[in-house]
Chain A
Amino acid sequence: MSAEEPHEVHLVVNGTTYDVQVPARRLLSDALRHDLGLTGTHVGCEHGVCGACTVLLDGRPVRACLLLAVTVDGHEVTTVEGLAGPDGTLSAVQEGFRQCHGLQCGFCTPGFLTTVTAGLRENPDPTHEEAREMVAGNLCRCTGYQNIVRAVERAAELGREQA
């Protein structure tokens, strides 16, 4: 039995281009974690429901477990590792989660951070209801979401202060 034929893929992740050889069936989540060693993106279900694997594809949130790596050839991917500033300063969203105790085990956190980053770009001044909706597609088993919603509101505040 022969191994699967590898495909050459150029992944632009957090501004860096990576050339990798992957089989056609390799998930983007696995390519990021296992081929590039960017383990910040987590896998909680592998069937598109939990949102832990959410990354930004050309700025828009997508489930990395539902995409094949070969299909994002040449596109811009942002993972949780790319959210902080080059000097390590936390982004407004990261800072909001930190200040509001918006994480416990931290496993779901990368997916929330990417989702909220995109959400606040679209709607920088969400109402309480909109803040809840913004995170309504991601599962967290630890926090009961109370502080995550607060974190979104705080992040919006910080974002406006920075702007």
Chain B
Amino acid sequence: MTTRLTGAPVQRTEDRRLLTGAGRFVDDVQVGPQTLHAAVLRSPHAHARIVDIDVDAVLDLEGVHLVWTHEDLAGVSAPLAEPLPLLIPHPALTHGRTQHALARDEVNHVGEAVAFVVADDRYVAEDAVARIRVTWEVLEPVVGLEQARAGERLVHDDVPGNVGARLEQGTADAEQMAAALEAAPHRLALDLEVERSACTPLEGRGTVARWDPDSDRLQVWTSTQTSTGVRAAVAARLGLDLGQVDVITPDVGGGFGVKINHPWPEELLVPAAARVLGRVVKFTEDRREHFVSSAHERGQLQHVEVGFDDEGRLLALDVEFWHDHGAYTPYGLIVPIITSTQLLGPYKPQLYRVVFESLYTNTTMVTPYRGAGRPQGCYAMERTMDAIAAHLGRDRTEVRAANFIQPDEFPYDQGLVFQDGRELEYDSGDYPALLEKAKALVGWDEFETFRAEMAAEGRRVGIGLACYVEGTGVGPYEGAHVHVETSGKVKVATGLTTQGQGHQTVFAQLVADELGCRFEDVEVVTGDTRRMPYAVGTFASRAAVMSGSAIHLAAKRTKEKALRIAADALEADEADLEIVEGSVRVKGSPGSAIDLGTVAVLSNPLRYAFDEASKAATQFSVGDPGRPPVAEDDEPGLEGKDFYSPERATFASGIHAVVVETDPDTAEVTILKYAVVHDCGTLVNPMIVEGQIHGGVAQGVAGALFERMAYDESGQLLNASFMDFLMPYVTEVPDGIDIDHQETPSPLNPLGIKGAGEAGVIPSAAVFAAAIEDAEGIRVTRMPMSPSDLFHLRTDQRQEPTS
């Protein structure tokens, strides 16, 4: 018997290529003298009108093949000159705005694309960009939420008050909420702030395109989280049929959300130029470009009003927040909607009301970053829990436990509408059990002893804990195709993309388990529209849930077909057959067996014999001459295709806890212990899940303690390089992360999986704010908290008169 692979820490099949330099990232495609390279002129101003663009000095530069400004785009194809699509329209987004592929008349943030050059190499293309002369009329920018809210200056002339959207929902209206707050035995108000950060994958964005005049088709390689999305956008904007465009996503050097936004201007301009020039064209952005012209996330101001009883139970929770959307809203309201709905976490307030405004500023736009709005929601809720505990003088874990949804209350309907337009109904979970595990793992009950010991040495320590629930595996669907070759090798294709999450391994595990083939025989392809043209994308921890389920279902279909054909060949009953190690055999009598490869041969009636194996499937060797070789309800080939489309999202959950030490002089925060307990339903590969947690925690630590987007008042990003933006090295992350798993399978999919990709990052701001507050005995309401932030906070709060 083979052992089941689901649940085992199987080593990754993708690694050999990546370890030997044989990975294929977008910039590795078509390197060579024939490839042309693109560079983009970007706005140096945060807000300005374009009076004139003079490209004359570029045209006589040797090696330049093409220069485009907005004026040129309509001549390439009419829709290319239109604003880029608003991908996720929402009725509340009353003033959605998107940029143009190349700015028309006005720019709204530093880094916005203004002109596009294609040349022999990137050096020459950059020389050319430097020669373009733009006459600007510089306008006053709106930088930061305070200025946006003031509404004295406008980002877009036709958007009053800079308000792109206002959305309210909840289980109470304003009047009911006011009454409930009034009636509550205790009441608190909190003002909170979270700064901007960004995904910053190590590989930036990149696109390569080739027009094939012989087959009238366009091939596009792009570093994206959605190949099918880019394909549809490219086809629509270049005036091509979908069937003329192939999009291939090779290895992707990290995404973390930023590569879900599409199409980027370059994803349209590069294919358009390739078609016009008849040459391969490539664009690879540099690091500074990534900082100013891709996307950021996280920036919010929050106001919480809460009413509660003596146990700390939430009677009324009223939240208002202001979301910094940057200059444009191509990805709609996904981020603030998630904040507003996922804020509740594992708790069940009697009444909840949330209202947010999404505001424009003259800064790089905001689209999802790993966690997508959840870190901010978790921060608001968990800061509130800590405040309640402090107010009542109770243990912080007790107050949380008093508010938990109980294990027998699932499915639990929070009475809200989630980001996918579906009801926010939690599928399964066990929060009290998670809390017990978290307390044990971090040593919650023993902490006061530890604190006293440390205090005796003159050291300051603090502990914090934060809970979250995460909607994962959102629809609409994913599909998969499983094909057994006559060699017995199994080719699997699914349309979503891969950015390092080990999909090739995890999906092969699922296929081997269901189909009964050898793990080593499975080859998985992701993100290639030629292999699976129907797909959504990789975001919101949906890959294992969605594609995993689809692959499982497709493997099941393949297995059914294999058994049916083998039953004929072996003259046995299907029910008596099993597939083990790639061989179909009669249960209990392994002697009578047939390889999957042979079954594949038999599945496809042939006219021609081209090798020894295929002889077995030709017209004179198989088939009943009284019947058609392929039955009416059948098709040739040993393959199966299926789709998975869930009613609603699954809900993973978890708790992080951290012990920190703060330096009394330098205000440096040292992490002494970091603990994670989490529940992502069935674990397919614990090694990979833990890797995802490690990466998430590092990004979370970075967001909580270091990373911020330092804009000056003129809208210049002052730290647009790795020199200045403090992305963590190994020295900044915890040395060791303690992890404990819990599995409450989801009833919504055949495997019981919930997603695990973002969990690591969600509670970080909350958990560090709590621990620093606990260590310092001063209120922490703004994150991130760098040593200098903490230093200033100490001075400020000490100066405040004590009441």
Contact = CB atoms under 8 A, between A and B. Distances in A.
Nearest to A132: B730
Interface stretch (B141-149, B251-259, B522-530, B742-750): B251-259
B571 interface: no
A25 B127 CA distance: 12
B736 interface: yes
A69 B699 CA distance: 35
B91 interface: no
B23 A40 contact: yes
B2 interface: no
A105 B203 contact: yes
B730 A148 contact: yes
B44 interface: no
A26 B120 CA distance: 13
Place the interface of chain A in its size category. 35 or more
Nearest to A94: B19
B694 A147 contact: yes
A152 B466 CA distance: 32
B201 A105 contact: yes
B801 to A, nearest CB: 43
Contacts of A101: 11-12, 687-688, 691
A108 B696 contact: no
B666 to A, nearest CB: 20
A84 B16 CA distance: 10
Interface size class of B (residues with CB under 8 A): 35 or more
A132 B735 contact: yes
A71 interface: no
Contacts of A139: 202, 722, 727, 729
Given A1-B62, A141-B254, A84 B729 contact: no
B711 to A, nearest CB: 21
Contacts of B737: 144, 146
A140 interface: yes
Contacts of A106: 14-15, 17-19, 23, 251, 253, 500
A101 B502 CA distance: 10
Contacts of B256: 141
Contact of B19 (A26, A113, A135, A143): A113
A163 interface: no
Nearest to A83: B20
A108 B735 CA distance: 20
A64 interface: no
Q: Choose among B21, B123, B201, B500 the residue with the greatest number of A CB atoms under 10 Å from its CB.
A: B21
Contacts of A84: 19-20
Given A47-B721, A104-B695, A144-B697, A138 B729 contact: yes
Contact of A44 (B203, B252, B729, B730): B203
A34 B697 contact: no
Nearest to B9: A101
A81 B21 contact: yes
B202 A90 contact: no
Q: Is the interface of B mostly helix, strand, loop or mixed?
A: loop
Q: From DSSP, what is the main secondary structure of chain A's interface residues? A: loop
Nearest to B201: A141
Nearest to A93: B19
B496 to A, nearest CB: 15
B230 to A, nearest CB: 19
Contact of A137 (B21, B687, B699, B729): B729
A98 interface: yes
A132 B62 contact: no
A18 to B, nearest CB: 14
B28 interface: yes
Interface in B239-259: 251-254, 256
B694 A144 contact: yes
A20 to B, nearest CB: 11
A109 B19 contact: yes
Nearest to B691: A101
A144 B696 contact: yes
A145 B702 CA distance: 13
Contacts of B733: 144-146
Interface string A123-163: 00000100010011111111111111100000000000000
Contact of A33 (B16, B27, B727): B27
A2 interface: yes
| A132, A137, A145 — most chain B CB neighbours (10 Å) | A145
B723 interface: yes
A136 B732 CA distance: 9
A41 interface: yes
Contact of B695 (A50, A83, A138, A142): A142
Interface in B665-720: 687-688, 691, 693-699
A107 B18 CA distance: 8
Contacts of A3: 62-63
B200 interface: yes
A8 B760 CA distance: 50
A34 B121 contact: yes
Nearest to B727: A139
A80 interface: yes
A143 B121 CA distance: 33
Given A39-B28, A136-B731, A104 B691 contact: yes
Nearest to A138: B729
Nearest to A49: B722
A77 interface: no
Interface in A19-55: 23, 25-26, 30, 33-34, 37-47, 49-50, 52
B286 interface: yes
Contacts of B736: 146
Contact of A97 (B15, B203, B688): B15
A110 interface: yes
Give 6 nearest A-B pairs by CB, closest first: A40-B21, A105-B500, A107-B253, A106-B18, A144-B694, A144-B698
Given A107-B23, A144-B737, 11 more contacts: A1-B62, A2-B62, A47-B723, A81-B21, A94-B19, A103-B15, A104-B502, A105-B202, A109-B18, A137-B729, A143-B694
25 contacts: A33-B31, A34-B31, A39-B31, A42-B25, A42-B202, A90-B20, A97-B19, A101-B691, A104-B500, A105-B201, A105-B251, A106-B19, A106-B253, A106-B500, A107-B500, A109-B19, A136-B730, A141-B699, A142-B254, A142-B500, A142-B695, A144-B696, A144-B760, A145-B733, A146-B736
Interface of B: 11-12, 14-25, 27-28, 31-32, 60-63, 121-123, 200-204, 251-254, 256, 286-287, 499-502, 687-688, 691, 693-699, 721-723, 727, 729-731, 733, 735-737, 760
